[in-house]
Amino acid sequence: MTNFWSIWIIVLSSVVIIGCIFLLRACSKNDTGVEEGESMGHSFDGIEELNNPLPKWWSYMFYITIVFSVIYLALYPGMGSFKGLLGWTSSNQSVRTLEESKIAVEDALKEGRWVQYDQEVIHANEKFGPIFKAYADTPLEELVNNKEALKVGGRLFLQNCAMCHGSDARGSKGFPNLTDGAWLYGGELETIKTSIMNGRHGMMPPKGGLPIEDSELPGLAEYVVKLSGREHDAALAAQGQGSFMKGCFACHGMDGTGNKFMGAPNLTDNAWLYGGSRGAIQQSIKNGRSGVMPAWKDVLGEEKVHVISAYVYSLSNK
């Protein structure tokens, strides 16, 4: 954090605390010239304003809150780059393994700092590390039949993957449905693990980078609708097929079944990542699409990814 932002946070926090004190004091004073409980001379719709101050217990509660905030900001980080009198920090560094966590805690304690997160990592790794190690040593083909492992994988999925794919793994616009068996890069166990470990970056350039005019988009979209087996305008689809043959087949294949090595979607299965309406298809062709799946190997580690992979595979292979 730069000095400017550190000072900005300190000043802003201090102004808010001091402002709260003055506001409470102002609300506690009776300098209106009207006795407590008497009318202030204002009324509207039959409701009359009386000179009633804040209840004492309410005022005391706010004062206690202010005192607590001052003590908290003195002891813990919160005022810019000031680390607090206790030198507390949630984590010393980005660590995952048990040995790295122990080293981080030892270094922190030598410096008089309290690293709560790393201490919790040590406790969690000591308790759950052997379990994940046993799962990691089990081939995925066997792990998908282990009910306890799948329960663990399901919990890990909810904690880390549900924000994009949904708690039911059915995804949403732009986020793949993991239950329908339609895989952009392949649904084999090792392929799923590779996708989770290393992430994926799908890229369709606008109009596929081809000399396709806007006037061709309705026909091209109609041809894609035909490929998916839906009712279509045969004449318009025939025009669109000519546009498709300008080069769309290079990624999606001559028959439109896609290319898993490139992550090019199968256009014949009626599974749509960004919507299958004619308008949505035209928008995808015209503007292109760029989807990113982050890599999880540095966040969860291979052992946990191994378990999640088995769970994800089980979603469409029950």
Tokens 């909810």: give the residue: 158
CA-based angle 110:112:117, to the nearest 5? 90
Known binding positions for heme c: 161, 164-165, 204, 248, 251-252, 293
For the CA atoms of 302, 304, 308, 310, the dihedral, rounded to the nearest 10 degrees, stands at 70
CA atoms of 147 and 55, how far apart (whole Å)? 58
Q: Is 39 helix (H, G, I), strand (E, B) or coil?
A: strand
Contact in structure between 87 and 114 (CB atoms under 8 Å): yes
Q: Binding site: residue ranges?
A: 161, 164-165, 204, 248, 251-252, 293
Query: Rounded distance, CA 241 to CA 187, Å?
Result: 29
Q: Can you read off the two tokens belonging to residue 34?
A: 């009207």
Residue 193 is encoded by which pair of tokens?
Answer: 């693990």
Amino acid 181 reads: G
Give the DSSP per-residue string, 47-115: EEEE--PPPHHHHHHHHHHHHHHHHHHHHSS-STT---TT-EES-SS---SHHHHHHHHHHHHHTT-EE
Element (H, E) at 43: strand 39-44
The CA distance from 248 to 204, in Å, is 10
SS3 306: helix
3-class SS at 130? helix
Give the tokens for residue 142.
């066997």
